[in-house]
Amino acid sequence: MSTVAIRAEGLSKHYRLGAAVQHNTLRDQLMHRLKSLTQWGSGRSEPDPSFWAVKDVSFEVKQGEVLGIIGHNGAGKSTLLKILSRITQPTKGTVDIYGRVSSLLEVGTGFHSELTGRENIFLNAAMLGMRRDEVRRKFDEIVAFSGVEDFIDTPVKRYSSGMYVRLAFAVAAHLEPEILIVDEVLAVGDASFQQKCLGKMEEVSRSGRTVLIVSHNMGIIEGLCERAILLEKGRIARIGKTQTVVEGYADAIRSQASMSIGDRPDRVGLGEILLTEIDLLDKDRHSVTSAITGRDVIIRMHYRCAEGKEFRNCRVSVSVNGRKGQDLFVLSTDIVDPTPLTLRGTGYVDFILPELPLTGGAYFLQSYIESNGHAQDWIKNVVPFSVLDADYYGTGNLCPPGWEANGVLVRYRWESSDNLDRSTLPFRAREK
């Protein structure tokens, strides 16, 4: 029977919104009590400026297990990992951890900005209770993995975010913790470093150590984790086999996207420019309910600006996401045309996609509006985006027999050493 590495029982974390108010003087205390009595007597009460980031969470993690934690932004994932890492204390509940923990929760967590990379390696090791001779044996391996050899004696405050996270991950993974906790840090590094990180986490788990990982990338979760937890509003919505939990996450995305845009409570931004509606149009600008593979489609994003205000240097973006929340591609006003965009009053922005390169299926759109570098309105999984299959390549096929076409299609051609006459290829497969 596997040994338990982490046991959490009834974990809860309560936060109060806004700054805490201190009543230091007798007058302050009297006025506060008088206000409370007045509200009580009138039957009115102030709205509770607080929320439970994590509520009554219980689970066990076995030694050597790789556990994924998934959920929407604000579901409580990072708060839970901070409790497990002993960075913050729970309001209620207990957690027992059996083994030395190394965590990487935010870029550079645990680093001192004034110290060099070398000094921070030894500082982190000391915090884990390691001896200097142990660190020296691992030092060259850590530096080589991070790729910051030329800057190892430079204060880390001068590091780029990529250098920061590379060194931080290298330290966290190489100092032989019994438990490694990682929170969405792979989004910062480049593709080759992400592959190195994934390989290192697999190596850590094979060595009998425990890994907890938070990620919005369901490919990483499905590839690394035997089990997963889905958090919704601070509570465990599902726990079990990874595939089952990820399917539950896809269901949650569908439920979220079915809400009216005006009723969405999870939108982020200043709110002076708001997305009001998204329409799907064909090439003649007639409203349609579904797009068709290989046909032109227009995504129309309606907006409303604060009355009497004009907003300069705006950017309107929309991304197409897969069923499990993964980004497939993004469309943005500033990419194909860098001309500054000014918004005022009400209006819309059309994104015209010629010959839609998606297989049939259910997708979701994510919207984003900003002005002068400030987010105005950001909504994940804002509406569903349905695509119907059609003959994209002009051959009657989208993929070879036994394969499942899913996601983005690409234009391509092929050549043979037998000097195949390319004029015999279908039009869509020819070189242009």
Query: What radius of gyration, in Å, describes the C-alpha atoms of the chain?
Result: 26
Residues 93 and 230 in one domain: yes
DSSP 278: E
Please report the pLDDT score of residue 44 as a whole number: 52
User: What are residue 15's DSSP bridge partners?
Assistant: 51
Sequence letter at residue 140? D
The tens place of each residue's pLDDT in the chain, 432 residues long, gives: 468 999 999 999 998 765 444 545 555 555 556 655 555 555 555 555 678 999 999 999 999 899 999 988 788 998 999 999 888 999 999 999 998 888 877 655 668 889 999 998 998 888 777 788 888 888 999 999 888 999 999 999 898 877 888 888 888 778 778 888 888 766 555 667 777 887 887 887 788 889 999 988 787 888 889 899 999 989 999 999 998 998 888 888 887 778 899 888 889 999 999 999 999 999 999 999 999 999 999 999 999 999 999 999 999 999 999 887 788 999 999 998 888 899 999 999 999 999 999 998 889 999 999 999 999 999 988 999 999 988 888 888 888 877 776 789 988 888 877 655 555 555 444 433
The dihedral through the CA atoms of 187, 191, 195, 197 has a sign that is: negative
User: What are residue 179's DSSP bridge partners?
Assistant: 101, 210
Domain boundary among 233, 255, 277: 255
Residues 286 and 336 in one domain: yes
Please report the pLDDT score of residue 48 as a whole number: 54
User: Sheet containing 50-62: which strands, arranged edge to edge?
Assistant: 50-62, 4-16, 92-97
Q: 233: closest CA among 257, 256, 263, 261?
A: 256
The CATH number of the domain holding residue 234 is 3.40.50.300
Whether residue 355 is contained in a domain is answered as yes
Provide φ and ψ at 337, rounded to 5°. -145, 105
| 297 close to 291: Cβ distance less than 8 angstroms | yes
What CA–CA distance (Å, rounded) separates 184 from 161? 14
Provide φ and ψ at 216, rounded to 5°. -90, -5
Whether residue 75 is contained in a domain is answered as yes
- The upper half-sphere exposure of residue 386, i.e. CA atoms within 13 Å in the direction of its Cβ, equals 6
Residues 215 and 274 in one domain: no
Please report the pLDDT score of residue 43 as a whole number: 54
161-174 and 117-127 helices cross at what angle (nearest 10)? Answer: 40
What CA–CA distance (Å, rounded) separates 202 from 173? 11
Residues 208 and 102 in one domain: yes
* H or E segment and range at residue 143: helix 132-146
Whether residue 359 is contained in a domain is answered as yes
Sequence letter at residue 418? D
What is the span of the domain harbouring residue 378? 266-388
| 296 close to 356: Cβ distance less than 8 angstroms | yes
Residues 170 and 289 in one domain: no
Residues 242 and 278 in one domain: no
Residues 125 and 216 in one domain: yes
Residue 165's region, left for phi above 0, alpha for psi from -120 to 50, else beta, is: alpha
Whether residue 395 is contained in a domain is answered as no
Q: 315: closest CA among 331, 299, 291, 304?
A: 331
The CATH number of the domain holding residue 320 is 2.70.50.60
Which two structure tokens, joined as six digits, stand for 396? 């009657």
Please report the pLDDT score of residue 26 as a whole number: 56
pTM attached to this predicted model: 0.69
Which two structure tokens, joined as six digits, stand for 312? 């300069």
Q: Which residue has the tokens 């982020």?
A: 268
Whether residue 350 is contained in a domain is answered as yes
Residues 213 and 307 in one domain: no
Which two structure tokens, joined as six digits, stand for 62? 């076995």
Q: 187: closest CA among 165, 204, 171, 210?
A: 165
| 186 close to 215: Cβ distance less than 8 angstroms | yes
- Burial of residue 106, with CB atoms counted within 10 A of its CB: 0-12 exposed, 13-18 middle, 19 or more buried: middle
Which two structure tokens, joined as six digits, stand for 31? 């006025």
What CA–CA distance (Å, rounded) separates 267 from 317? 15
Q: 342: closest CA among 367, 317, 318, 372?
A: 372
Residues 202 and 81 in one domain: yes
| 241 close to 65: Cβ distance less than 8 angstroms | no
Whether residue 410 is contained in a domain is answered as no
How many structural domains are present in the chain? 2
Residue 189's region, left for phi above 0, alpha for psi from -120 to 50, else beta, is: beta
Residues 245 and 326 in one domain: no
> DSSP per residue over 171-211, as a string?
HHHHS--SEEEEESGGGTS-HHHHHHHHHHHHHHHHTT-EE
Residues 374 and 251 in one domain: no
Whether residue 26 is contained in a domain is answered as no
Whether residue 137 is contained in a domain is answered as yes
The dihedral through the CA atoms of 232, 235, 238, 243 has a sign that is: positive
Residues 60 and 165 in one domain: yes
Please report the pLDDT score of residue 29 as a whole number: 59
